[in-house]
C-alpha cells in the first residue's frame, strides 16, 4: 500500500510543477498523473505547495555549556523541527578537552538515539587539536560525519590559527568540510574584561563587546588560511555586511567559501538590545553570538540571499529559558548562556518574509532551506529534493492562512521566542518523514521518535 498526494504544486529548485506524488516503502516511488494503485491512501492537497523536507544545518540540542544545558534536547528539539517542516537536523557533536573524537561522537549518539522525531546527522566540533584528532578525522568520515567545526571565539572552545591551518590541510586530504565560528575571540575577551571592570553588566554590553569588525577580521584571516591550505571553508552564521564583503573578495581570489546565515541575522536587529541606560533584562533573550547587527546588515544579507552568495540557512538553535537560564547572567552579561531558539520557525519565516514579500521565489527558498544543505553535507539526492528514489521527506504548505508567532503555541521547549508577535503566513498541513505522515494540521499524528541517524557522504553536487 502506498500514499498518493494529488493536486499539489511540487517545488523543485528550479520550478514549481503540478503533479502527483506516490510514496511507497519510505521513498518517492513515482511522480506524474494517474498514479493511484489499489489500496493506496489518497490525500488531496489542492492548492498547496509540496516542498522537500527542510534541513537545518546548525542546531545545538542537549548541549552542556558548563553552567547549564540547552533547554531543548533531541526529543523536544526534533519535535519542534518537524512541526515546522524540518525533517533533518545537523547537530554539533562537540569534543570536550582531552576527549577523542570517537568519544564525543558516542556521546552525541547516546543523546539522540531513539529520541529523535526527525532524521539527524552530526558535525564534529573540534576543540582540542592534536595528532590523534587529526588522524581520527578520517574515522569520523567513515562514521558518516563528513563535516567539522572550529571556533575562533569563546575562551574554552577556540583554536589557534596554526591549528586551523593544520585541520584544513587534513580535511582537504580526506574530503571533509570545516565550519568556522568567525569572531576574534581574544579581542572580544579583552573588551568583555574591560566592560566588567567598568561595571557595565547589562546584556546590552554583550552586543557592545562584539563589534562587526571582529567578525570580518576573523573571516579575512580564515579566508587567507584557507587559501594557503587550498581547502574549502564553511563560514557558519554570517551576521555582517562587512563579513560578506570579505567573503566576496576571498571568492574572487579563488578561495572556496561555503556560506551559511540564519533568519535572526535577516529579520532581527540590534535595537533589541535596547539602550545603555535600560534597566530591563529583556535583551538577554537576544544574547547570542554573533550578536544581532544593524539594519544595513539585514539588508546586505538579504541581498546576499537574492544573488546567491549565501548558500543555505541554518538556525543556530541553541535555546535557553529566559527564566532560570538566561538569568544566570542577571548581574553579569558574560554569564548569560549564548544562543536562542529558531528551529521551529525557520521555514515559516523564510516563506513569510522571503517568498510572500517578494524577496525570493519559493524555489529559491527550497534551495536555501533544503537542497543546498543536502548537497554540501553529503545527503543529496537522498534528501533535499523531490524526485523519484529520494526519501519521501515532504512538507505540504497551505499558502492561504495567516497567524502570529507566539511562545504560547510553540513546540520547542523554551519560554520565549525571539519572533514573538511576528506574522506567520501559511500553515504546514502535512509532514512526511521517509513516507510516514508524522504531522497533520500542525499536530503530531504519530507520537513515536522514528528519526534516524544519517550517515553522510562527503560533499556531492551530482
Ligand atoms: O550564541 C550562540 N550562537 N550559541 C551557540 C554556539 C555557537 O556559537 O554556535
Ligand atoms: Zn552554533
Compute the Cα dihedral for 444, 319, 56, 175 and give only its sign.
negative
CA distance 137 to 126: 10
Q: Which class for 275: exposed (0-12), middle (13-18), buried (19 or more C-beta within 10 A)?
A: exposed
Q: Give the whole-angstrom CA distance, residue 258 versus residue 217.
A: 17
Q: Mark out the alpha helices in 198-240 (DSSP H runs).
A: 204-208, 212-229
- Digitized pLDDT (tens) for each residue of the chain, 462 residues in all: 999 999 999 999 999 999 999 999 999 999 999 999 999 999 999 999 999 999 999 999 999 999 999 999 999 999 999 999 999 999 999 999 999 999 999 999 999 999 999 999 999 999 999 999 999 999 999 999 999 999 999 999 999 999 999 999 999 999 999 999 999 999 999 999 999 999 999 999 999 999 999 999 999 999 999 999 999 999 999 999 999 999 999 999 999 999 999 999 999 999 999 999 999 999 999 999 999 999 999 999 999 999 999 999 999 999 999 999 999 999 999 999 999 999 999 999 999 999 999 999 999 999 999 999 999 999 999 999 999 999 999 999 999 999 999 999 999 999 999 999 999 999 999 999 999 999 999 988 877 999 999 999 998 776
Question: How far apart (Å, rounded) are the C-alpha atoms in residues 232 and 184?
Answer: 20
Name the domain count of the chain: 1
Neighbours of 337 (CB within 10 A): 25
Which is the closest atom of ligand 1 to the Cα of 153? 8
CA 336 to centroid of ligand 1, rounded, Å: 12
- Residue 121 in domain: yes
Contact by Cβ (8 Å): 150, 163: yes
Helix axes 241-252, 212-229, angle to 10 degrees: 20
Atom of ligand 1 nearest to the CA of 287: 1
* Alpha carbon distances (Å) from 440 to 61, 153, 330: 24, 41, 40
- In the chain, the N- to C-terminal Cα span, in Å, equals 31
Closest atom of ligand 1 to 339 CA is 1
Hey, what's the cell of 231?
Answer: 581547502
Distance between CA atoms of residues 166 and 152, nearest Å: 14
Residue with cell 541581498: 303
For the stretch 230-282, pLDDT in tens is 999 999 999 999 999 999 999 999 999 999 999 999 999 999 999 999 999 99
Radius of gyration of the chain (CA): 21
Rounded Cα–Cα distance for residues 389 and 16 (Å): 19
Pocket test for ligand 1, best of 289, 314, 340 (most atoms within 8 A of CB): 289
Grid cell, residue 178, equals 570545516
Task: Determine contact, residues 112/74, Cβ cutoff 8 Å.
Answer: yes
- In 3D, which of 299, 294, 289 has the Cα closest to residue 340? 289
In the reported structure, the alpha carbon of residue 315 is separated from the centroid of ligand 2 by a whole-number distance in angstroms of 8
Task: Report the pocket of ligand 1 as residue ranges, CB < 6 Å.
Answer: 60, 181, 288-289, 316, 318, 338-339
Helices (H), 271-388: 295-306, 346-349, 362-366, 372-376
Task: State the pLDDT at residue 459.
Answer: 85
CB atoms within 10 A of CB 457: 15
Give the Cβ contact number of residue 346 at 10 Å.
24
Asked whether residue 29 is assigned to any structural domain, the reply reads no
Give the position of cell 550578536.
291
Nearest CA to ligand 1 atom 2: 339
Query: pTM to 2 decimals?
Result: 0.98
CA of 28 to the centre of ligand 2 (A): 33
Give the pLDDT confidence of 36-76 residue by residue, as tens digits.
999 999 999 999 999 999 999 999 999 999 999 999 999 99
**Which residue is closest in CA terms to ligand 1's atom 9?**
316
Residue of 214, 316, 336 with the most ligand 1 atoms within 8 Å of its CB, for mutation: 316
Q: Which position has the grid cell 561595571?
A: 199
What is the number of the ligand 1 atom nearest to the C-alpha of 58? 9
Sheet order of strands, 233-238 included: 54-59, 86-94, 119-125, 147-151, 177-181, 233-238, 257-261, 312-313
Could you say which ligand is closest to the alpha carbon of residue 151? 1
Query: From ligand 1's centre to the CA of 291, what distance in Å?
Result: 10
Amino acid 86: pLDDT: 98
pLDDT at res. 412: 98
Q: How many CA atoms lie within 13 A of 257 on its CB side?
A: 33
Which residue's C-alpha comes closest to atom 8 of ligand 1?
Answer: 289
Question: β-strand 3-6 against 436-440: which pairing, if any?
Answer: unpaired
Query: Cα–Cα distances in Å, from 235 out to 62, 289, 314?
Result: 23, 14, 12
Predicted pLDDT of residue 72:
98
CA of 58 to the centre of ligand 2 (A): 6
Per-residue pLDDT, 462: 65
- Look up the CATH number of the domain holding residue 218: 3.20.20.140
Q: Is the peptide bond before 346 cis (omega within 30 degrees of 0)?
A: no
CA–centroid distance for 448 within its chain: 24
What residues form DSSP beta bridges with 234?
179, 258
Say which DSSP state 69 is in.
B
* Residues around the ion ligand 2 (C-beta < 5 A): 316
d(CA 213, CA 373): 27
Cα–Cα distance, 105 to 112 (Å, whole number)? 11
Residue 420 domain flag: no
Contact 154, 131 (CB under 8 A): no
Domain around 86: 54-377
Amino acid at each position: 500500500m502506498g500514499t498518493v498526494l494529488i493536486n499539489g504544486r511540487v517545488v523543485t529548485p528550479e520550478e514549481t510543477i503540478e503533479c502527483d506524488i506516490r510514496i511507497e516503502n519510505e521513498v518517492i516511488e513515482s511522480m506524474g498523473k494517474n498514479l493511484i494503485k489499489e489500496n493506496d491512501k489518497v490525500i488531496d492537497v489542492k492548492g498547496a505547495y509540496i516542498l522537500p523536507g527542510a534541513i537545518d544545518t546548525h542546531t545545538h540540542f542537549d548541549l552542556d555549556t558548563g553552567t547549564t544545558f540547552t533547554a531543548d534536547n533531541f526529543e523536544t528539539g526534533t519535535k519542534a523541527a518537524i512541526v515546522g517542516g524540518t525533517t533533518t537536523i545537523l547537530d554539533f557533536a562537540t569534543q570536550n578537552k582531552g576527549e577523542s573524537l570517537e568519544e564525543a561522537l558516542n556521546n552525541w549518539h547516546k543523546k539522540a538515539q531513539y529520541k529523535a522525531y526527525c532524521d539527524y546527522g552530526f558535525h564534529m566540533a573540534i576543540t582540542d587539536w592534536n595528532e590523534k584528532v587529526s588522524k581520527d578525522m578520517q574515522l569520523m568520515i567513515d562514521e558518516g560525519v563528513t563535516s567539522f567545526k572550529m571556533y575562533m571565539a569563546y575562551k574554552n572552545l577556540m583554536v589557534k590559527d596554526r591549528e586551523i591551518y593544520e585541520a584544513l590541510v587534513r580535511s582537504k586530504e580526506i574530503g571533509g568540510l570545516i565550519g568556522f565560528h568567525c569572531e576574534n575571540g581574544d579581542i572580544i575577551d579583552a573588551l568583555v574584561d574591560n566592560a566588567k571592570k567598568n561595571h557595565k553588566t547589562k546584556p546590552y554590553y554583550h552586543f557592545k563587546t562584539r563589534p562587526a569588525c571582529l567578525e570580518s577580521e576573523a573571516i579575512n584571516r580564515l579566508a587567507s588560511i584557507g587559501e594557503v591550505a587550498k581547502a574549502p571553508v564553511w563560514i557558519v552564521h554570517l551576521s555582517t555586511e562587512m563579513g560578506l564583503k570579505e567573503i566576496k573578495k576571498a571568492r574572487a581570489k579563488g578561495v572556496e567559501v561555503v556560506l551559511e546565515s540564519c533568519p535572526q541575522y535577516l529579520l532581527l536587529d540590534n535595537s533589541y538590545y535596547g539602550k545603555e541606560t535600560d534597566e530591563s533584562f529583556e535583551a538577554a533573550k537576544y544574547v547570542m553570538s554573533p550578536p544581532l547587527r544593524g539594519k544595513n546588515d539585514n539588508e546586505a544579507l538579504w541581498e546576499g540571499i537574492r544573488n546567491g552568495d549565501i548558500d543555505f540557512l541554518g538556525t543556530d538553535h541553541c535555546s535557553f529559558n529566559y527564566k532560570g537560564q538566561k538569568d544566570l547572567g542577571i548581574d553579569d552579561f558574560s554569564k548569560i548562556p549564548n544562543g536562542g531558539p529558531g528551529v521551529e520557525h525557520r521555514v515559516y519565516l523564510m516563506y513569510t518574509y522571503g517568498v510572500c514579500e517578494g524577496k525570493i521565489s519559493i524555489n529559491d527558498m527550497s534551495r536555501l532551506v533544503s537542497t543546498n544543505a543536502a548537497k554540501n553535507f553529503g545527503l543529496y539526492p537522498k534528501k533535499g529534493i523531490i524526485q523519484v528514489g529520494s526519501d519521501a521527506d515532504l512538507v505540504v504548505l497551505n499558502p492561504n492562512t495567516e497567524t502570529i508567532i507566539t511562545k504560547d503555541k510553540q513546540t520547542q521547549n523554551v519560554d520565549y521566542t525571539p519572533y514573538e508577535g511576528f506574522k506567520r503566513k501559511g500553515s504546514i498541513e502535512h509532514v512526511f518523514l521517509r513516507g510516514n505522515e508524522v504531522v497533520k494540521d500542525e499536530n503530531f499524528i504519530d507520537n513515536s521518535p522514528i528519526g534516524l541517524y544519517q550517515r553522510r557522504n562527503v560533499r556531492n553536487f551530482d
